């Protein structure tokens, strides 16, 4: 969400939503980015609204107000319109900051972004901890592409930080990519709405039953597309890398 106070932009500043006048003053002539603006307490919402409306601040200990020339960018993972209805976010502030709204899709909706993000994050993590930037194996990348990322890019960064710490020989392997259980991308279209009774699971357990269903779905898709994996992946609603990972994991020839 974007709201421009006035004028030109020379630079940018990022801060937590609890930061006060000092941070706003530091962003003079530039851009102030407020992360998780939905978590701003109501009394701070009043202050932010006043800054946007009056285009001025009064620093602590001062008696006079100082004009500010700042563009405000804010981000949140929560639905502000619902918070407005529940009285947890001021309606007047909502309309002030919601001038231009951009929705960033969840990472699981844009898995093609994972490989370049992995490369960028590995560079940054290695630089921060002072080690040589490790390479990532194809199998480890396939693991990263099989996950739903409920925590989005921040969770990917956390996973990679752990992987860099655990890996050896400057190479990230599949066992270094530690993922939360129950968050893999196993929601193939053929699985949607299908109920499996407890008595039907059999000796292989639920995981074996799910793998059997996935295997059948992938084989049907490959047969329909004459084993064109790119088209089969599109038919299944997966990326090519995800399909390749499943084919290898399930031992489909």
Query: What is the pLDDT, as a whole number, of residue 45?
Result: 92
Domain C-terminal end among 97, 131, 152: 97
Instruction: Read off the pLDDT of residues 202-224 as tens digits, 9 standing for 90 and up.
Output: 444 445 556 677 778 888 888 88
Q: What is the CATH number of the domain that holds 214?
A: 1.10.10.60
Q: Which tokens in the block code for residue 101?
A: 């709204």
The pLDDT score that the predictor gives to residue 35 is 86
Q: Is residue 181 part of a domain?
A: no
What's the domain range around 193?
189-250
Residue 83 sits in the same domain as residue 20: yes
Whether 251 shows a pLDDT value over 90: the answer reads no
Number of independent structural domains in the chain: 3
Contact in structure between 60 and 102 (CB atoms under 8 Å): no
For residues 79 and 9, state if they share a domain: yes
Q: Is residue 115 part of a domain?
A: yes
Q: Is residue 146 part of a domain?
A: yes
3-state secondary structure of 102: coil
Strand partners, 72: 3, 32
Tokens of 240: 């090519």
Does residue 153 sit within a domain?
Answer: yes
Confidence of residue 15 (pLDDT cuts 50, 70, 90): very low
For 175, the 3-state DSSP assignment is helix
């Amino acid at each position: 969400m974007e709201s421009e106070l006035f004028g030109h932009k020379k630079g940018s500043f990022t801060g937590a939503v609890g930061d006060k006048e000092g941070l706003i003053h530091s962003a003079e002539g530039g851009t102030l980015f407020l992360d998780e603006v939905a978590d701003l307490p109501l009394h701070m919402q009043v202050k932010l609204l006043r800054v946007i409306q009056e285009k001025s601040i009064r620093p602590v200990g001062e008696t006079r107000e100082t004009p500010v020339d700042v563009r405000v960018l804010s981000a949140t993972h929560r639905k502000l319109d619902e918070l407005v209805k529940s009285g947890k976010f001021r309606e007047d502030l909502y309309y002030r900051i919601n001038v231009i709204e951009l929705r960033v899709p969840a990472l699981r909706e844009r898995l093609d972004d994972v490989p370049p993000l992995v490369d960028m994050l590995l560079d940054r993590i290695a630089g921060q901890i002072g080690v040589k930037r490790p390479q990532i194996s194809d199998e480890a990348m396939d693991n990263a592409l099989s996950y739903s990322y409920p925590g989005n890019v921040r969770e990917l960064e956390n996973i990679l930080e752990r992987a860099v710490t655990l890996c050896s020989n400057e190479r990230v392997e599949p066992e270094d990519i530690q993922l939360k259980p129950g968050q893999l991308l196993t929601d193939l279209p053929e699985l949607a709405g299908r109920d499996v009774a407890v008595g039907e699971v059999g000796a292989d357990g639920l995981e074996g039953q799910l793998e059997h269903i996935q295997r059948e779905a992938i084989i049907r898709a490959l047969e329909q597309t004459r084993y064109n994996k790119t088209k089969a992946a599109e038919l299944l609603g997966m990326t090519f890398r995800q399909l390749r990972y499943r084919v290898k994991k399930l031992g489909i020839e």
